[in-house]
Structure 1
């Protein structure tokens, strides 16, 4: 990166994008988190049922339904069963001629419970180990535990099924790759912040951060606003293009098309229903990101103190709307930046700069699938591919320079070689 910057091959713009690369794993070796949670619950219910069947063994205390049983507790119960079976064996030896012998029936039942408990304990340990492998993911592959099932463009079956893959993120400038990283989550939204931190650490982040709508979220905008004050994000949000359409602007269901009185802080919908400020509220998502909202509630009665049916929901409650003013601020800021001539020209280069790199990676190098397993090995293999692309791009520039400033007779041999570069 220092060499490229010194020779003016790259500028102060970082184009960021991601793609999915198939993992070296079996396409049908999937393990789904929801299924493991469901199977674990059923397994624990089966354990509770078995423990209830042990009441005649006089096990200490009754275990209520839904108890959280640990493996150590199961080990103690199995040892208790083995001691009970040893006592029954002694009693049966003392009364060999007794027939029918109730102790034999009891021993048969306890042996069955012991065998089933051992099986359930093994399953409990298996599910606990499986939950550790997930590591906040929804799936993984049995043949490559670090691979996550994602939707990839290079679908071998051409039917849109999920395949084990890794999420490759790259940053480019002048079609040179300035940084890359591998992630296990399928969406690009949550990869931006750690990827930006890595670029800052490596001193490879440009002043302008350009990315597509897949990265446009409040958490990403807020991180750049608070932490990267010297950088300018040029990142579309999901509905930006739709908001510019005539259909969106004429849709009365959109709150942004309602009348707003800033002085008295209320909204008026197209039916004349007034929404007054009610309360501040927060919403925290599963990734622990908190959003702040202002809640507005519709006036139930009109001027004549009659109930306004337009102010009520189908269930008869007052209608409410929630406005995220931080999100609206970031949206308006991005809209101004992307509509300005200078920054719009920078954003327009995104497809030419970063998408062409993916094209050379997959079409020219045939890099559509990893040949190693494990995320650390995958990162090293990706590094070789990134270096190959950069060297290839650099040699192309060098040869083009030679072709411009040398004699025609000398450059004929280079023209053939440049086809391979």
Structure 2
């Protein structure tokens, strides 16, 4: 029993001891002190190798490699020598391209990058050109070698197997000019104001003729283009007569006679002042405006080369016009192959000038051009077909009514002659009412672009008392059909090409190819407005944008290839200088 009690006491001691020991330990637990890495921003630091901080796949390295591969004589051409030592064009071009790749489009912003951004500092070799020097290089010197520089880059992309120039995906986008939105000059208004001014000039000349009592031959009405010359001659006659009257006033002592002479002189001075200060300056201004218009309907006073166009980025959200440029871009694998800038808002008449500029360059001509229905016209199809039926290139371009003609509603519509029965032997159509529509004559029309189109005119034998006439035509007489044989043949060829399985698959890539490039430029990199003014300067600036886009594309491919070799994939968005997150 004693042993049992001893055992029980010992057991109780074993039960209570650990709990008391734990309570004591919890009371004496030490407190943790936060630890930090050493930090002292006042301590002097030295970067021995700035290049080591730039990742191998960074766009700055792509820019450096591309510019260094360009022959020196190509970039040194604008420099004549002499004067103050200039910054090297390689360095200037690198920092400007890097700025545009980082959504920095002002030279003040590029200057700030060179002072604060590590890749820009490395590209500039720690040199710091100011914004005036950068702007002079971009707006003056780059114009002389921009086209050659872009062509050199495209040739390099072809040699590196990034592109082939076989499929040429073409489309347009409108970019706002660096101009006031309300600085418009309209051609119709200018012509109307000029016509009213010429009427006032003729009335004033007739009044002067009455005052001066000149012979009709001296003050005869002339052609509108000769009005400035006639006004100058009239000014000389009026000045002589005013001077003569001034001398008579000085020699006359009679008060009433002097007053009459002064009134006569005042009557001559008034039209003389009007001609000098109003008529002649306005005629000169309207002549300059007509020369500035060319074949356009409007231009901006701030940037006379810009035309007012309807754009998707409407600041008032009500379809207002804004000054801008029509940029034609061709892509392949989402690389920009070629570009051109135009002052016309529509695409139809920009196709041939764009292809002519491509043919004049050193780049190879494409095998197939793919574009939307905005380019589908008789003139463009004939240009692609070439002279003497020798094809310049194949086209996958639908005409304007292609999609509409595929609908069931169009095929059942009796109004369209394409749905009628045609008898080739007798060269006649049979209308839905069973009456003959016979060939009548040939007719030639001239399109707005200057193309002469040949039409065959067919006329129904008798449309009187036809129950289908209200739905067929609004003409009072018989129904006529204007049939363009060449255009219908070209439409049939375009339709056959678009319905081919292999070619339709290529055409389906158009939206992915071109529209994604537009979204990158205008959406992701926010380039929606030019910084420079004038057609040549704008052409140069968009060339920088296109070069930056292609270099960013190469950098992205290089990064993807690097990750593929490691068997990793990138997760989420990250800064170029932060540590990347990868998954196996």
TM-score by shorter chain over 0.5: yes
Deviation for aligned residue 1:89: 2.1
Match status 1:104 vs 2:255: no
Match status 1:58 vs 2:181: no
Match status 1:184 vs 2:339: no
Query: Which range moved further: 48-57 or 318-327?
Result: 318-327
Query: Number of residues paired by the alignment?
Result: 417
- Give the aligned partner of residue 451 of structure 2: 289
- Give the aligned partner of residue 81 of structure 1: 238
Distance in 2, Cα, partners of 1:181 & 1:187:
14
Aligned with 1:39 (options 193, 217, 221): 193
Distance in 1, Cα, partners of 2:496 & 2:578:
43
Aligned with 2:548 (options 382, 388, 393): 388
* CA pair 414-248 structure 1, distance change in 2 beyond 3 A: closer
Query: Which range moved further: 117-126 or 52-61?
Result: 52-61
- Give the aligned partner of residue 27 of structure 1: 181
Match status 1:4 vs 2:157: yes
* CA pair 83-5 structure 1, distance change in 2 beyond 3 A: same
SS in 1 for 2:386: helix
SS in 2 for 1:78: helix
Distance in 2, Cα, partners of 1:38 & 1:243:
42
* CA pair 418-181 structure 1, distance change in 2 beyond 3 A: farther
CA deviations over 1:87-113 (Å, ceiling 9, x no partner)? 222333333425264433322221111
Does the aligned pair in 2 maintain the 1:396–1:418 contact within 8 Å?
A: no
SS in 1 for 2:320: coil
- Give the aligned partner of residue 263 of structure 1: 425
Distance in 1, Cα, partners of 2:545 & 2:401:
35
CA deviations over 1:212-248 (Å, ceiling 9, x no partner)? 0111111100100125615110001111011010100
* CA pair 63-419 structure 1, distance change in 2 beyond 3 A: farther
Distance in 1, Cα, partners of 2:437 & 2:477:
14
Query: Which range moved further: 199-208 or 356-365?
Result: 199-208
Distance in 2, Cα, partners of 1:81 & 1:269:
73
- Give the aligned partner of residue 209 of structure 1: 369
SS in 1 for 2:562: helix
Q: Which runs of 5+ in 2 are unaligned?
A: 1-153, 580-584
Distance in 2, Cα, partners of 1:52 & 1:197:
52
Deviation for aligned residue 1:65: 8.7
Aligned with 2:522 (options 362, 386, 389): 362
Deviation for aligned residue 1:316: 4.6
Query: In terms of Rg, which structure is larger?
Result: 2
- Give the aligned partner of residue 272 of structure 1: 434
Distance in 2, Cα, partners of 1:413 & 1:257:
56
- Which residues in structure 2 correspond to 1:226-265 (within 5 Å)? 226-227=386-387, 229-265=391-427
SS in 2 for 1:191: helix
Query: Which range moved further: 205-214 or 269-278?
Result: 269-278
SS in 2 for 1:54: helix
Distance in 2, Cα, partners of 1:173 & 1:374:
29
SS in 2 for 1:366: coil
Deviation for aligned residue 1:166: 0.6
| TM-score using structure 1 length | 0.92
Distance in 1, Cα, partners of 2:229 & 2:416:
57
Distance in 1, Cα, partners of 2:261 & 2:572:
96
Match status 1:148 vs 2:307: yes
CA deviations over 1:331-379 (Å, ceiling 9, x no partner)? 1111100010010000000000111000100112110000111111111
Distance in 2, Cα, partners of 1:59 & 1:287:
48
* CA pair 401-79 structure 1, distance change in 2 beyond 3 A: same
Distance in 1, Cα, partners of 2:560 & 2:568:
13
Q: Which runs of 5+ in 1 are unaligned?
A: none
Q: CA RMSD in A?
A: 2.8
- Give the aligned partner of residue 224 of structure 1: 384
Distance in 2, Cα, partners of 1:372 & 1:301:
61
* CA pair 294-89 structure 1, distance change in 2 beyond 3 A: same
Deviation for aligned residue 1:314: 6.7
| TM-score using structure 2 length | 0.67
Does the aligned pair in 2 maintain the 1:30–1:139 contact within 8 Å?
A: yes
Distance in 1, Cα, partners of 2:528 & 2:223:
47
